[in-house]
A and B are shown apart, each in its own frame.
Chain A
Amino acid sequence: MKVKTKLKSLFTWSTEELVLIGTFAALIKIVTLTVSLVGGGMNPATLLLKNIVATAMLVVLIHKVPRAGVLVLYVLQQAIIMMMLMGSGIMILPGYLLAAIFAETLAFLVGGYRNTAAIILGVAFYDLASRVISMGMSWLFMRENMALFFVALGIVGVGYIGCLIGLGTGIKFVKEFRHAGFIRR
């Protein structure tokens, strides 16, 4: 009975929570796209910045909506937005969803999203797993040209360094948003 109630609560979300997830999915997409367009997608500074910002915002989102399933919903929303507006993203959705589910499980095992360390671990794992999956997809597209694959690997590597920095930046932002009264937990 308890399991049934818990499963039911997993699918019951308030409007406020759903709207926050949708808003952040769009926000992160717009900001990363803008940083890429303004900074020129390939230079390391832009790559770092883009990933720092995206990860930091994701950390803020999970602090705002600290409940199981938030990462999965966020990934799903981002994929749908990308599909609807940019015609892309459908191929990577299953892999990203899988990465999000594993990350959520990991966060749950280390204490759940009420615990900041679990949030950090979950996001760090999601960022890593989703990149590994992206590289798998890249290999399928670039398998004839391994040099290109290694270039992509380098780009993803720099991006992940950005994600790791973003975790720390995210915590800093969370502190500030607490001071401003936007995060209350």
Chain B
Amino acid sequence: MIRLENVNYNYPFQPDAALKNVNLQVKQGEAILITGRSGCGKSTLGRLINGLIPTYFSGSLNGKVHIAGSSQHSFHDLTRLVGSLFQDPEQQFLSTTVADELRTALEWRGCTSEEIDRVLDPIVAQLGLEHKLDSSLFTLSEGEKQKVALASILALKPQILMLDEPTANLDIHSTGELLSILTTLKQEGMTIVIFDHRLYWLRALIDRCYLMQGGTITETRQFSDLEGLRQDFGLRSTKQATLSVPPLTVGQMSRPSGLYFDSLSFAYNGQSPLFNNFNGGFPQGKVVAICGKNGRGKTTLARIAMGLEKPSRGKISIHGKDLPSKKRLQQSGLVLQNTELQLYMRSVTEELQSTVGKGLNPTDIDTTLEQFQLTGLQQRHPQSLSGGQRQRLVIACALQKRPDVLILDEPTSGLDGYNMEIVGQHVKTEAKRGAAIALITHDHEFINNCCDYVWNL
């Protein structure tokens, strides 16, 4: 179904090859995993398979790319043969309601309304979207968004389904649902190609794994071999992590140290209250994982703590002192998911300096960059870094401030195993220094790695 022979590819204006001598063969009905460290060339390989290279991304391409038995497919045909599901499904929506989004691609391929209904009805039923057809795409949960994106792909009846980090924003329940859908599709003969760092959920699905390094496929292994290769390839664990961290008790949320919410009440305009007379907090010197389904108010709680949302009632204290929102903001750090909105300066050095005034000397900067595996990037524009590099820089900036309270929202999305370890180590060091740290995350492996307590909202 997919055959790549000696493929080399350079992006325009880039001296280094993004893909070097790549060979790959996938048969119909197989499910394969392509993994490796951040920046190893996974996304580029994906773009080659779905035809974006060379149609959308120009550059120099050598070698042979056979998809569904031919190397002569037009891009129009390839978009029908290969369905691509992105990490953030919102990226691929072109409409605002579920029904309209599902119909768009078929409409532009000249299908009549009756034909569209005939194609969509069974897919909508299979994915359980019947009651969501009139909903706005912006009101759906992450799991639901992914189902809509998947349904709009399946409507084109592709022969190959390509998924790029599909579970990065999903909770455990939604990940399970996705796995069950993919298993059914595989049984029906669909060829599945998955690019992912999170591996635990793939054990029952994957036939073969390709490991990439520096733009080339260096190993082809069975899934069961991956655990032994974690160190060499910076992989995440292949085993389903069961939470081994104790829950946070009322006694540990002691008022004198750390961050404490006293009789907190909060509701968004016209909605039922998220918090009603709520008492609790994060203890000093500890790392607490905040878990719970989407919509339970995890990020809202972080925003209230930082003074970005105003509670209708209640007080918030740091180390026993009731503080107004401005003071809390000065003494705290918050890292949100969207890293590109958190970097503003012209170079990585300027970015680090801006967090602490001019107090950082070049040696401090070099040390910090080394600790976060960002050496050599001092003069680079922060927005030109890769997603993983940006994530680490944002966290490094937040830590430079030496905050009393630090909250990180989904810090491991897009991070490989090696970089996840690095972030985990810094979080633990910061807690030892005396900061109260909260991590909003669904990632059990990361929680076991660096958290002291779990708080289920």
Contacts and interface: CB of A to CB of B under 8 A. Distances in A.
Q: Do chains A and B touch in the complex (CB under 8 A)?
A: yes
Interface of A: 15-16, 176, 179-182, 184
Contacts of B384: 179-181
B56 A184 contact: no
Contact of B381 (A15, A16, A181): A181
A180 B383 CA distance: 6
Contacts of A182: 383
B346 A179 contact: yes
Interface string B1-34: 0000000000011000000000000000000000
B12 A176 contact: no
Contacts of B381: 176, 179-181
A176 B13 contact: no
15 contacts: A15-B56, A16-B56, A176-B346, A176-B381, A179-B346, A179-B381, A179-B384, A180-B381, A180-B383, A180-B384, A181-B381, A181-B384, A182-B383, A184-B12, A184-B13
Contacts of A180: 381, 383-384
Given A176-B381, A179-B346, A179-B381, 12 more contacts: A15-B56, A16-B56, A176-B346, A179-B384, A180-B381, A180-B383, A180-B384, A181-B381, A181-B384, A182-B383, A184-B12, A184-B13
Nearest to A16: B56
A180 B385 CA distance: 9
A125 to B, nearest CB: 31
Contacts of A176: 346, 381
Contacts of A16: 56
Interface of B: 12-13, 56, 346, 381, 383-384
A182 B13 CA distance: 12
A58 B220 CA distance: 49
A86 B381 CA distance: 38
B155 to A, nearest CB: 20
A141 B313 CA distance: 51
Contacts of B56: 15-16
Contacts of B13: 184
A60 to B, nearest CB: 14
Contacts of A184: 12-13
A181 B11 CA distance: 12
A118 to B, nearest CB: 23
A23 to B, nearest CB: 13
Nearest to B12: A184
A142 to B, nearest CB: 38
A19 B383 CA distance: 21
B245 to A, nearest CB: 40
A120 to B, nearest CB: 22
Nearest to B383: A180
A16 B13 CA distance: 18
Contacts of B383: 180, 182
Contacts of A179: 346, 381, 384
Contacts of A181: 381, 384
A30 to B, nearest CB: 15
Nearest to A181: B384
Contacts of B346: 176, 179
Nearest to A185: B13
A15 B79 CA distance: 15
Nearest to A14: B56
A15 B94 CA distance: 13
Nearest to B347: A179
B14 to A, nearest CB: 10
Nearest to B382: A180
B59 to A, nearest CB: 12
Highest count of chain B CB atoms <10 Å: which of A179, A182, A184: A179
Highest count of chain B CB atoms <10 Å: which of A16, A176, A181: A181
A136 B384 CA distance: 45
Closest CB pairs A-B (n = 7):
A180-B381, A181-B384, A180-B383, A180-B384, A179-B381, A184-B13, A176-B346
A46 B277 CA distance: 42
A15 B13 CA distance: 21
B83 to A, nearest CB: 18
A180 B13 CA distance: 13
A27 to B, nearest CB: 14
A16 B346 CA distance: 26
B156 to A, nearest CB: 18
